[in-house]
A and B are shown apart, each in its own frame.
Chain A
Amino acid sequence: MANRLGTIARDLGRMLEALAGLILVSVLIPLVWQEWWVVPGMILSGLLPLLVGFGLSRAFQNADDPGRLHGMMIAASGWFFVAVFGSLPFLLIAWTARLDPSVLEIPARFTTGGTRTFSTLAAFQNPLNGFFESMSGFTGTGLTMTDNEAALPHTLQWWRSFIEWVGGVGVIVLTTAILARPGSGSLTLYESEARSEKIHPSIVSTVRTIWWIFLLFTFFSILLLWLAGMPMWDAINHAMTGLATGGFSITDNSIGTYNSVAIDFALIPIMILGSIAFPIHYLILRGDLRNLYRDLQTRWVFIFFGLGTLILTALLFDQRFYQTETMTVAGIVLHGRAATLFQTFRFAIFQFISAASCTGFQTAGSLGPGWSAPAQLTVAFGMIVGAAAGSTVGGIKLIRLLTLGKGILFRIRGVFYPSTAVRTFRLDDRTLSDDEAAQEFEEAAIITFLWILFLGVAAFVFMIALPMGPEGYTLENVLFEVASAQGNVGLSSGITGPGMPAVTKAMFLFNMWIGRLEIIPVLVLLRSLFVSMGVYD
């Protein structure tokens, strides 16, 4: 038992050291923006995880390599504590403004009560709100406790984007890339963070390649958004959160703030890049473009995004939600139905891809109570399914639904064959034996079942805790919001905010946590905790 705890504590310590590095590197931002008053809070936020992490990793440096059980417990506890310590910048900066020491010369807008700027930052004086924001960021969810993101200090705007960017690839992937520990322990941890793809035989090389691809795409995305018309600071933040399919914005109305066709359409390929598995990106960068249609998951990402967009466009067009008299696109003037159709398509493609890629950016005039229930449920379905495993997206993942669909057909067809017939199951160019196929079905079915089970549990809690009915929220509002949290999407039907009851914040913290790690590691950790406390045998 002691040895097991040592293994967990050592690796947890390493993750906290990596987190401390992220916070301390971010001190550059207040220096650039001359937000001197946040510097003490940021340094203290970095020193705390550094001390705890250093202490743990040194005290247990000779602990064994993690096995599968340890790996899952480290991943689950690591993500939890990284989110806890990652909330320190929110908490300490908010309390710096509250205490307002005169030596720091804090701008009056952060210390004068009664304004939105003040209340936005003041919300993080509540540690639960900071923890929520941090968990939402690291898991790439994008639901927020802020009232007006544009009013936050630049340092916190950056911290929100930075943790989504890192969380999109994974905290363990980052730690492995930095610490470069050889051996089977890194692989075990890597697989516990909802990743299984390998680009190279060595896991350290694999994670470094993932970062190489991610950095290259980030620079490309920043410049693409800038060319589309975004200011550079906005482009940097939105490129990071868009590519990581996280969805935090630095503006009050997300991407709708810009009301720009060019920016909408520039973000679409960025969100799609985040929805494709890293090994496919690697092959494409090596010139093998055929993987865009040959790889089963990638092919279905495009099919799924295309079908969802068509259905959503049809539903919204039928509803005449985006009735437009005239509009100009790339110098071409559209009138009447053509203008309405283009406007509807513009919002439908952005919103469906934002949902299915689990990004969570929102555009103007959409997703409010004005959308019909079928339209909202179409988007909710996209959020639940997600895109490719091995990318930065959340949700159940397309490959699991494809496995289940093909598996069901395989079983039904099996009835028509004699019992002695030898049949093989093909999935994504792999030929599986009966045992292998059964294992794939089982894994896909368990995750899908647990996903829907916890969706139901959270919806039940919300329906008890929130006002429902004509004066409150509808069932589809609740299902939409819960699917958004658990799928790590971040689209909101208006429920999430600093004023929501604490029990619903706690429920969403749990949903975001299990959604990012694909449930099993969290359940393993909780079972181990309950067993060690004698609650469960």
Chain B
Amino acid sequence: MRLEQIPVIGPLLEAGADDSVFDALLILGPIVISIITFLGRTLPSVLLAVAYTGGFLSYIAYKGVAETTESST
């Protein structure tokens, strides 16, 4: 079964930005939130939240730099 065939999530992923990292972040979002809710405010949960938010922002910045470099060449 392909990811796009999953009910509810499938059509949403198909409508996204054609980017597997963002799609992964979308799927991982509720899982990360559930884990953090379960763990409470501990060092591993803080690191997990930092990894998610940091990863999201860093990836946007990376795509921006890559796009600018590509369009200038």
Report A-chain residues with C-beta under 8 Å of the C-beta of B68: 289-290
Which of A212-220, A245-253, A404-412 contacts the other chain? Answer: A212-220
B6 close to A (CB within 8 Å): no
Q: 0/1 per residue, B48-73, Cβ < 8 Å to A?
A: 01101100100010011011100000
> Residue on A with the closest CB to B29?
A219
> Residue on A with the closest CB to B11?
A208
Nearest CB of chain A from residue B44's CB, rounded to whole Å: 14
Residue from A209, A224, A236, A287 whose CB has the most chain B CB atoms within 10 Å = A287
A-B contact pairs, 14 of them (CB 8 A): A209-B15, A212-B26, A218-B29, A219-B32, A219-B52, A220-B25, A220-B52, A223-B53, A226-B36, A227-B46, A232-B36, A286-B17, A286-B63, A287-B63
> Residue on A with the closest CB to B26?
A216
A96 close to B (CB within 8 Å): no
Report A-chain residues with C-beta under 8 Å of the C-beta of B67: 286-289
Contacts A285-B22, A289-B68: A227 and B53 contacting too (C-beta < 8 A)?
A: yes
Report A-chain residues with C-beta under 8 Å of the C-beta of B50: 227
Report B-chain residues with C-beta under 8 Å of the C-beta of A236: 33
Q: 0/1 per residue, A95-133, Cβ < 8 Å to B?
A: 000000000000000000000000000000000000000
Report A-chain residues with C-beta under 8 Å of the C-beta of B42: none
A321 close to B (CB within 8 Å): no
CA A222 to CA B56, docked complex, whole Å? 13
On whether the beta carbons of A212 and B15 are closer than 8 Å, the reply is yes
CA A332 to CA B18, docked complex, whole Å? 43
B interface with A by C-beta (< 8 Å): 11-17, 19, 22, 25-26, 29-30, 32-33, 36-37, 46, 49-50, 52-53, 56, 60, 63-64, 66-68
Report A-chain residues with C-beta under 8 Å of the C-beta of B63: 285-287
Of the residues B32, B37, B64, contact of A287 by C-beta under 8 Å: B64
A148 close to B (CB within 8 Å): no
Nearest CB of chain A from residue B61's CB, rounded to whole Å: 8
Report B-chain residues with C-beta under 8 Å of the C-beta of A212: 12-13, 15-17, 26
A529 close to B (CB within 8 Å): no
CA A224 to CA B54, docked complex, whole Å? 10
A interface with B by C-beta (< 8 Å): 180, 205, 208-209, 211-212, 215-216, 218-220, 222-224, 226-227, 232, 236, 282, 284-290
Report A-chain residues with C-beta under 8 Å of the C-beta of B16: 209, 212
Report A-chain residues with C-beta under 8 Å of the C-beta of B15: 205, 208-209, 211-212
CA A236 to CA B32, docked complex, whole Å? 13
CA A212 to CA B50, docked complex, whole Å? 22
Q: Which 9 A-B pairs have the closest CB atoms?
A: A219-B29, A208-B15, A287-B67, A287-B63, A289-B64, A212-B16, A209-B15, A223-B49, A285-B17
> Residue on B with the closest CB to A239?
B33
CA A291 to CA B29, docked complex, whole Å? 26
Of the residues A220, A232, A282, A290, contact of B17 by C-beta under 8 Å: A282
On whether the beta carbons of A222 and B26 are closer than 8 Å, the reply is no
Report B-chain residues with C-beta under 8 Å of the C-beta of A289: 60, 64, 67-68
> Residue on B with the closest CB to A289?
B64
Of the residues B12, B17, B53, B60, contact of A211 by C-beta under 8 Å: B12
Of the residues B19, B56, B64, contact of A220 by C-beta under 8 Å: B56
Report B-chain residues with C-beta under 8 Å of the C-beta of A219: 25-26, 29-30, 32-33, 52
Report A-chain residues with C-beta under 8 Å of the C-beta of B52: 219-220, 223
Known: A219-B29, A223-B52. 10 other contacts (CB 8 A): A208-B12, A216-B25, A219-B26, A219-B33, A220-B52, A222-B29, A284-B64, A286-B19, A287-B67, A290-B68
On whether the beta carbons of A227 and B25 are closer than 8 Å, the reply is no
CA A220 to CA B30, docked complex, whole Å? 10
Report A-chain residues with C-beta under 8 Å of the C-beta of B64: 284, 287-289
CA A211 to CA B37, docked complex, whole Å? 24
> Residue on A with the closest CB to B14?
A208
Report B-chain residues with C-beta under 8 Å of the C-beta of A285: 17, 19, 22, 60, 63
CA A282 to CA B33, docked complex, whole Å? 24
CA A282 to CA B66, docked complex, whole Å? 16
CA A220 to CA B55, docked complex, whole Å? 10
CA A36 to CA B3, docked complex, whole Å? 36
CA A236 to CA B46, docked complex, whole Å? 16
> Residue on A with the closest CB to B38?
A232
On whether the beta carbons of A224 and B22 are closer than 8 Å, the reply is no
On whether the beta carbons of A224 and B29 are closer than 8 Å, the reply is no
Report B-chain residues with C-beta under 8 Å of the C-beta of A208: 11-12, 14-15
CA A180 to CA B12, docked complex, whole Å? 12
CA A284 to CA B56, docked complex, whole Å? 12
> Residue on A with the closest CB to B17?
A285
Nearest CB of chain B from residue A208's CB, rounded to whole Å: 3
CA A219 to CA B32, docked complex, whole Å? 9
On whether the beta carbons of B33 and A222 are closer than 8 Å, the reply is yes
On whether the beta carbons of B17 and A223 are closer than 8 Å, the reply is no
Nearest CB of chain A from residue B26's CB, rounded to whole Å: 5
> Residue on A with the closest CB to B28?
A219
Report B-chain residues with C-beta under 8 Å of the C-beta of A216: 22, 25-26, 29, 56
CA A51 to CA B19, docked complex, whole Å? 40
Report B-chain residues with C-beta under 8 Å of the C-beta of A224: 53
Report A-chain residues with C-beta under 8 Å of the C-beta of B53: 220, 223-224, 227
Report A-chain residues with C-beta under 8 Å of the C-beta of B13: 212
Report B-chain residues with C-beta under 8 Å of the C-beta of A211: 12, 15
On whether the beta carbons of A232 and B37 are closer than 8 Å, the reply is yes
> Residue on A with the closest CB to B63?
A287
Contacts A236-B33, A289-B64: A226 and B11 contacting too (C-beta < 8 A)?
A: no
